Homo-oligomer: A and B are copies of this chain.
Amino acid sequence: MYQLIDGKAISDQIKSEIAEEVKQLTANGGKQPHLAVIIVGHDGGSETYVAHKVKACEQVGFKSTRVAFDESVTEELLLAKIQEMNINSDIDGFIVQLPLPPHISEQKVIEAIDYRKDVDGFHPVNVGRMSIGLPCYVSATPSGIMELFRRYQIPTQGKNCVVIGRSNIVGKPVATLMMQKGNPGDATVTVCHSRTKNLKEICRNADIIIAALGSPEFLKEDMVKEGAVVVDVGTTRVPDTSSKTGTRLKGDVDFKQVAPHCSFITPVPGGVGPMTIISLLRNTLAAARKEIY
Q: 1/0 per position for A52-78, CB-CB distance to B under 8 A?
A: 000000000000000000000000000
* A123 in the interface (beta carbon within 8 A): yes
Are A166 and B180 interface neighbours, CB within 8 A?
yes
For residue A107, CB closer than 8 A to chain B, the reply is yes
Q: Which of B132, B188, B198 is the one whose CB lies under 8 Å from A196?
A: B188
A192 touches B188 (CB 8 A): yes
Q: Determine if A146 is an interface residue (Cβ-Cβ < 8 Å).
A: no
Closest residue of chain B to A166, judged by CB?
A: B179
Residue of B nearest to A201 (CB): B205
Interface residues of A in 121-144 (CB under 8 A from B): 123-129, 131-134
Bound-complex Cα distance A157 to B193 (A): 11
List chain B residues, Cβ under 8 A from A195.
157-158, 186-188
The residue among A107, A131, A168 with the most chain B CB atoms within 10 A of its own CB is A131
Q: Does A233 contact B (CB under 8 A)?
A: no
CB-CB nearest in chain B for A162: B190
Least CB distance, A189 to chain B, in whole angstroms: 5
A192 to B195, CA, bound (A): 21
A263 sits at the interface (CB 8 A): no
B160, B173, B197: the one within 8 Å of A158 (CB): B197
In angstroms, Cα B180 to Cα A124, docked, is 17
Whether B188 lies near A188 (C-beta < 8 A) is no
A185 closest partner in B (C-beta):
B195
The reply to whether the CB of A202 lies closer than 8 angstroms to some CB of chain B is: yes
- The answer to whether A172 and B131 touch across the interface, beta carbons within 8 angstroms, is yes
Contacts of A134 in B (CB 8 A): 107, 124
CA distance A125 to B127 in the complex (A): 8
Q: Does A176 contact B (CB under 8 A)?
A: yes
- Name the contact of A128 in the complex, choosing from B131, B166, B192 (C-beta under 8 A): B131
Looking at the complex, which one of B132, B196, B202 makes contact with A124 (CB distance below 8 Å)? B132
Compute how far the CA of A292 lies from the CA of B184 in the bound complex, rounded to whole angstroms.
Answer: 36
Shortest Cβ gap from A142 to chain B (Å): 12
Contact of A198 among B132, B160, B172, B173 (CB under 8 A): B160
Q: How far is the CA of A17 from the CA of B26 in the complex (A)?
A: 62
Say whether A191 faces chain B, with CB atoms less than 8 Å apart.
Answer: yes
Distance in Å: Cβ of A174 to nearest Cβ of chain B: 12
Against B, the Cβ 8 Å flags (1 = close, 0 = not) of A97-139 are: 0000000000100000000000000011111110111100000
**A188 to B186, Cβ gap below 8 A?**
no
Q: Which residues does chain B contribute within 8 Å of A127, judged by CB atoms?
A: 127-129, 131-132
13 A-B pairs besides A124-B125, A127-B131, A190-B191 with CB distance below 8 A are A124-B129, A124-B132, A125-B125, A128-B128, A128-B129, A131-B172, A158-B195, A175-B191, A179-B191, A187-B195, A188-B196, A188-B198, A188-B202
